């Protein structure tokens, strides 16, 4: 059974009185348990919209989304999902440890279990030596890493990460990449969005390319590269987008 599924999932934003913007256009996507799945696309292609619809923080205009067979508003299902937003907002006077304590309490985790979990997570993301530093002194990369730790506090089966490496330097990117592989090997299903191609190329089992809210293609990277006769992901990315742009120019309509 698919662990994440969307059926014709669509979001049209209304701006002002009569202007609309397509956020996501009839997306059909199936993600199996244990996959490390990458949603790729340029800025504004609908990645965040898709993730927010899955998490139930946005309502779709039409279509359906399911996680573990449940709708995005199912409270019990949410116990099994961890989320790292694109631009997380934290109380900046908390230390990293206090932030994790706060999130742990939201999940009602037993005090002793939580204490151990926090130590384990701080170590996992390489912040065990900055426990007492408040978040306002964190670098962008450190914030990204504490966010990742926070998304893991409830030991989720499914991790949804919106651009997890955006603020990271090359070492930070490598560490996050290794961490993602480690989490996948531990059996977690990971859905991440990224516009960093090389990032995804190295870790994802399957990818989807979004552009203007439309799913251009999805599959295993090597199979897609064969299909589009591409030498790497960047080449594939550009070819699928060019092909789509040509299609809408000749046909005059979006798919």
Ligand X SMILES: Nc1ncnc2c1ncn2[C@@H]1O[C@H](COP(=O)(O)OP(=O)(O)O)[C@@H](O)[C@H]1O
Indicate which of ligand X, Mg ion, none lies near residue 172 (CB less than 5 to 8 Å, by partner kind).
none
Supply the minimum distance, in Å, between the C-beta of residue 21 and ligand X. Answer: 4
15 binds ligand X (CB under 6 A): yes
Q: Which residues have CB under 8 Å from 201's CB, separation 6+?
A: 221, 232, 233
| Burial class of 191 by CB neighbour count within 10 A (0 to 12, 13 to 18, 19+) | buried
Which of 5, 23, 173, 201 binds ligand X (CB under 6 A)? It is 23
* Window of 36-44, 88-96, 104-112, 226-234 that interacts with ligand X by CB under 6 A: 36-44
Q: Output the residue with the shortest Cβ distance to Mg ion.
A: 48
211 binds ligand X (CB under 6 A): no
Supply the minimum distance, in Å, between the C-beta of residue 45 and Mg ion. Answer: 8
Considering the complex, state which of residue 74 and residue 86 has its C-beta at the smaller distance from Mg ion: 86
21 binds ligand X (CB under 6 A): yes
Token match 């059996």: residue? 187
Query: In the structure, how many helices (H) and strands (E) does the chain have?
Result: 9, 9
Whether 35 and 189 have beta carbons less than 8 Å apart is answered as: yes
Which pair of structure tokens corresponds to residue 216?
């251009």
Which of 5, 6, 25, 49 binds ligand X (CB under 6 A)? It is 49
Indicate which of ligand X, Mg ion, none lies near residue 38 (CB less than 5 to 8 Å, by partner kind).
none
Which of 41, 72, 82, 147 binds ligand X (CB under 6 A)? It is 41
Which of 25, 48, 95, 189 binds Mg ion (CB under 5 A)? It is 48
Which of 30, 34, 44, 202 binds ligand X (CB under 6 A)? It is 44
Residue 152 has, within 13 A of its CA and on its CB side, a CA count of: 24
Q: Which of 79, 175, 55, 177 is nearest to 125 (CA)?
A: 175
In the sheet with 36-40, reading across from the earlier edge strand, the strands are 81-84, 158-162, 189-194, 36-40, 206-211, 214-219
45 binds ligand X (CB under 6 A): yes
Whether 24 and 49 have beta carbons less than 8 Å apart is answered as: yes
- Contact footprint for Mg ion (CB under 5 A): 47-48, 86
Residues near ligand X, by CB under 6 A = 13, 15, 21, 23, 41, 43-49
């Amino acid at each position: 059974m698919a662990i994440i599924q969307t059926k014709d999932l669509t979001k049209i934003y209304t701006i002002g009185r009569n202007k609309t913007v397509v956020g996501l256009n009839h997306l059909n996507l199936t993600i199996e348990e244990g996959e490390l799945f990458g949603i790729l696309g340029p800025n504004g292609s609908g990645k965040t919209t898709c993730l927010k619809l899955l998490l139930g923080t946005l309502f779709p205009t039409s279509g359906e989304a399911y996680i573990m067979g449940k709708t995005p508003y199912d409270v019990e299902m949410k116990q099994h999902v961890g989320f790292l937003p694109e631009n997380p907002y934290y109380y900046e006077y908390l230390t990293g440890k206090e932030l994790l304590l706060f999130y742990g309490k939201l999940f009602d985790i037993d005090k002793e279990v939580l204490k151990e979990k926090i130590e384990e997570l701080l170590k996992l993301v390489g912040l065990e030596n900055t426990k007492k530093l408040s978040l306002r002194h964190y670098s962008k990369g450190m914030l990204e890493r504490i966010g990742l730790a926070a998304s893991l506090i409830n030991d989720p089966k499914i991790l949804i990460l919106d651009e997890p490496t955006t603020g990271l330097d090359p070492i930070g990117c490598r560490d996050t990449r290794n961490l993602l592989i480690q989490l996948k090997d531990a059996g977690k299903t990971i859905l991440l969005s990224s516009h960093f191609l090389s990032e995804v190329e190295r870790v994802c089992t399957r990818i989807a390319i979004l552009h203007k809210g439309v799913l251009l293609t999805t599959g295993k990277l090597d199979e897609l590269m064969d299909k589009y006769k591409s030498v790497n992901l960047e080449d594939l990315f550009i070819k699928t987008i060019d092909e789509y742009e040509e299609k809408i120019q000749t046909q005059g309509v979006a798919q």
